[in-house]
Amino acid sequence: MEKKNLLVIKIGGNVIDNEENLCNFLEDFSAISQHKILIHGGGKIATKIGEQSGIQSKYINGRRITDDAAIDLVTMVYGGLVNKKIVASLQSLHCNAIGLTGADGNIIPAVKRPVKEIDFGWVGDVDTHKINTAVLDTLLQNRITPVFAPLTHDGSSHMLNTNADTIASSLAVALSEKYKVRLIYCFEKKGVLENVADESSVIRFINKQIYKTLLSQGKLFEGIIPKIDNAFAAIDAGVNQVVIGAAEKLLQNCAGETDGTLISA
Amino acid sequence: MEKKNLLVIKIGGNVIDNEENLCNFLEDFSAISQHKILIHGGGKIATKIGEQSGIQSKYINGRRITDDAAIDLVTMVYGGLVNKKIVASLQSLHCNAIGLTGADGNIIPAVKRPVKEIDFGWVGDVDTHKINTAVLDTLLQNRITPVFAPLTHDGSSHMLNTNADTIASSLAVALSEKYKVRLIYCFEKKGVLENVADESSVIRFINKQIYKTLLSQGKLFEGIIPKIDNAFAAIDAGVNQVVIGAAEKLLQNCAGETDGTLISA
């Protein structure tokens, strides 16, 4: 039996923090008729609410630490406020969304990141093989659209702060066994740029051969390289295609051509 | 085909606000093998976090008003913090819980309470007939336990603050078409008391005839009368039994005898 298409789409702060951007994105997203899953990051609102409540972000060597107060804060803000606002908006657009964290239905079990040089606190690392796809599959088959906050749990009653990109790629890989998955990362640029100063220099297609050439030419902006590496890792693990680009253009043509950068094997 | 048993259990502040009470309750709850749904209220934590964040509760004529800041606050605290802590705890007890609001899966559509003398703000009234039981039924059949925060939505992208007792009775009534439902209200007393000063005076069983007699004798504490009226309303609408009592005793014997007050037609 041919696999059904599934879109796994990640949005970050540049979409979430701007009400107009978010509205536009959710309109495009709700219009997609294929099976789809949305993963949202947190944006600046957690920091803002943290400051209002006297909870300050802690850093060690420039890395953010998730202490007891911080995990409560992100559970509230990402798992509650941001997640349910998105769900309520999608419902108003007749997209039957359900808001989830990795704890819900035990969909994404994780382990607290082992302490080496730094104790990151309540931060979760995901093992893709432990993801429980059955619940997601049931929801998708019932035309319900899962919307994930960037949170997992450790199975011992602790919520864990988890990178939204990681959640997106982990879900995409785990679901690729049953679905033909296109993983879409919405970010602030229109795609992978040949010239980082020129938004019109989007590279439309990258495969491993092209990537090798681009790397040897030293053309790629440094910040994009880990994103492309992660994309190929997801593809090697079963994901069909990865797309990187700006939210406002990516979804309009989701099934076919896209305005971002298409990455495939 | 005989209907399957379903327990719909509501806990309030006296369980949620005390970590030991909550742990004990969740242990008992997770041990129940029947299909079950949990509805939690908010407790004092929203007020506490509101005060920390400079969000003050507003009242008109002694009635709490849910303004823009307040609905964001309860969406964060009830829908995020309290709900996901309960879910993560239940997962650690091997109960496969999923945390929901009425917006998720459009399970509980509501209408913003019409403005008469007072504009209560973002407060939702539920029409039991509009509850979408199909999603809940799918979850229950997959041995997943829904855990509801006291929130609904208006279908126009607004979350609504909704009384947890109302959510519990509405879900119980809506699901009574497919399930034999026992609706359990955990509160601070051991049950309906014949003498409100004597915790050992629990009335074990009330039907309409007994209730009439109790009312005519003027024995019942005023605060309990609306609870009993709501119980009979739920029973008249299809719920099999209602139990009112203290959380720590109610669940140990859930399937059979109970330590609280059993109410039936």
Cβ–Cβ below 8 Å for A81 and B75:
yes
Whether the CB of A56 is below 8 Å from some CB of chain B: the reply is no
Phi then psi for residue A29, to 5 deg, are -60, -45
Full set of structural domains in chain A with CATH: 4-190+241-250 (3.40.1160.10)
* Number of residues assigned to chain B: 265
Residue among A174, A164, A184, A93 at smallest CA distance from A140 = A174
Query: Hey, is the C-beta of B173 within 8 angstroms of any chain A C-beta?
Result: no
More confident residue, B29 or B60: B29
When pLDDT is averaged across residues A77-99 and rounded to a whole number, the result is 98
A99 at the B interface (CB within 8 A)?
A: yes
Closest CA to A206 of A179, A177, A181, A227: A227
* A204 annotated as ligand-binding: no
Task: Please tell me the distance in Å from B236's CA to the nearest CA on chain A.
Answer: 31
Q: What is the pLDDT of residue B53?
A: 83
Specify the pLDDT at position A257. Answer: 57
Kindly tell me if the per-residue pLDDT of B257 is higher than 60.
Answer: no
Residue of A nearest to B78 (CA): A80
Provide, as residue numbers in chain B, all residues whose Cβ is less than 8 Å from the Cβ of A160: none
Which residues of B line the annotated binding site?
42-43, 64, 161
Whether the CB of B246 is below 8 Å from some CB of chain A: the reply is no
Give A11's contacts (C-beta < 8 A, 6+ positions apart): A25, A38, A39, A40, A41, A186, A247
A54 appears as a binding residue in the annotation: no
* Mean per-residue pLDDT, A178-195: 93
- For A97, which residue in chain B has the nearest alpha carbon? B105
In this predicted structure, the answer to whether residue A256 has a pLDDT above a threshold of 80 is no
Residue A219 pLDDT: 83
> What pLDDT is attached to residue A252?
59
pLDDT at A254 exceeding the cut of 80: no
Which residue out of B52, B91, B132, B141 would a mutagenesis test of the A interface target, given it has the greatest number of A Cβ atoms within 10 Å? B91
| For range A66-82, the mean pLDDT | 96
Q: Inspect the interface and report whether the beta carbons of A75 and B87 lie closer than 8 Å.
A: no
Mean pLDDT score across all residues of chain B: 92
Average pLDDT value for residue range B250-264: 71
Mean of pLDDT values over B12-16: 91
Kindly report, residue by residue over B128-185, the tens digit of the pLDDT: 999 999 999 999 999 999 999 999 999 999 999 999 999 999 999 999 999 999 999 9
A198-215 pLDDT, tens digit per residue, is 988 999 999 999 999 999
Task: Please check whether residue B133 is in contact with residue B178, taking contact to mean a CB–CB distance below 8 angstroms.
Answer: yes
pLDDT tens sequence across A101-153: 999 999 999 999 999 988 999 999 999 999 999 999 999 999 999 999 999 99
Q: Does B80 touch chain A (CB under 8 A)?
A: yes
How high is the ipTM of this complex? 0.94
Across the interface, which of A80, A96, A104 has its CB nearest the CB of B77? A80
Flag whether residue B45 sits within 8 Å of chain A, measured between CB atoms. no
Substitution target in A49, A157, A158, A160 with the highest count of B β-carbons within 10 Å is A157
* Interval B51-107: pLDDT, tens: 888 888 888 877 889 999 999 999 999 999 999 999 999 999 999 999 999 999 999
Torsion of Cα atoms, A16 then A17 then A23 then A24, to 10°: -80
Nearest CA in chain A to B138: A138
* pLDDT attached to residue A58: 85
User: Between chains, do A52 and B49 touch, taking CB under 8 Å as contact?
Assistant: no
Task: Tell me what pLDDT residue B253 has.
Answer: 53
Cα–Cα distance for residue pair B197/B124, rounded to 1 Å: 35
Q: Answer yes or no: is pLDDT of A258 > 70.
A: no
What is the average pLDDT score of chain A? 92
Answer whether residue B254 shows pLDDT above 70. no
pLDDT at B160: 98
Nearest to B250 by CA among B25, B40, B34, B5: B25
State residue B252's pLDDT score: 59
The predicted structure's pLDDT at residue B239: 98
Share of chain A above pLDDT 90, in %: 77
**Residue range A246-257: mean pLDDT, rounded:** 64
Give backbone dihedrals phi and psi of A13, rounded to 5 degrees, phi first. -55, -35
Residue type, B59: Y
Q: Does B30 touch chain A (CB under 8 A)?
A: no
Confidence of residue A253 (pLDDT cuts 50, 70, 90): low
| Residue from the list A84, A104, A144 with its beta carbon closest to the beta carbon of B87 | A104
Cross-chain residue pair B100–A98, CB shorter than 8 Å? yes
Please answer yes or no on whether B157 and A92 come within 8 Å at the CB atom: yes
